[in-house]
Amino acid sequence: MKAHMMFTSMTPATSQAITGWLRETEKQVFQSALATLAAQRKLRPIFVARKTRAEQVIWMAEQLKSKLNEAVGENLLQIWLMKGRPAMLISFLNTLGVPHDGNGGIEGEIPATLDPEKIKSGTGALLAAHPAEEVAIYLNLFQLQQAGGWPELQAVLDADPKLHFA
């Protein structure tokens, strides 16, 4: 599932929590993304900058639903996960046995195939410790790290209703 599809499928509360977190925690990233999204809509950035904080967060969340903003949405989700949810990434990578930098960043290559039992175990651990919608976002974004994703992971995503977006 692509980033714009995730933003379209996730609850407004989650999409606004993500963009709100970016606005408060990653201010430069947020402002840069806001300017890029405004330009995509042929708006001057000041038009969006004059909105209240809450309106900016909602506006950005809505813009990220567009296929045209796929790259921005994927980048923002990666930043949110890497900096805002590193424990989730580390837990899953540890379960899979994928080497990482201790912050959720993968070192080297991800294996071409993944052990289905490790995926189920890792997914179960994530669901026990994190909101299901956030786990679904992470796992779907993880799927984008390899062309076509991993069939083993897709099977788990398809089989577990907790990992389906509303």
Instruction: Give per-residue burial for 65-80: e unless 16+ CB within 10 Å, then b.
Output: bbeebeebbbebbbbb
10 class by beta-carbon count within 10 Å (0-12 exposed, 13-18 middle, 19+ buried): buried
pTM summary value: 0.90
- pLDDT, one tens digit for every residue, the chain (166 residues): 999 999 999 999 999 999 999 999 999 999 999 999 999 988 887 888 889 999 999 999 999 999 999 999 999 999 999 999 999 999 998 898 888 887 767 777 888 888 999 999 999 999 999 999 999 999 999 999 888 899 999 999 999 999 998 6
136 class by beta-carbon count within 10 Å (0-12 exposed, 13-18 middle, 19+ buried): buried
Model pLDDT, residue 88: 92
Model pLDDT, residue 100: 80
Model pLDDT, residue 112: 85
Model pLDDT, residue 106: 77
Model pLDDT, residue 107: 78
- Decide: helix, strand or coil at residue 100: strand
Model pLDDT, residue 23: 94
- Decide: helix, strand or coil at residue 106: strand
Model pLDDT, residue 123: 95
Please give the Cα distance from 147 to 128 (Å, whole number): 29
Q: What residues contact 93, with CB distance under 8 A and at least 6 apart?
A: 99, 100, 104, 106
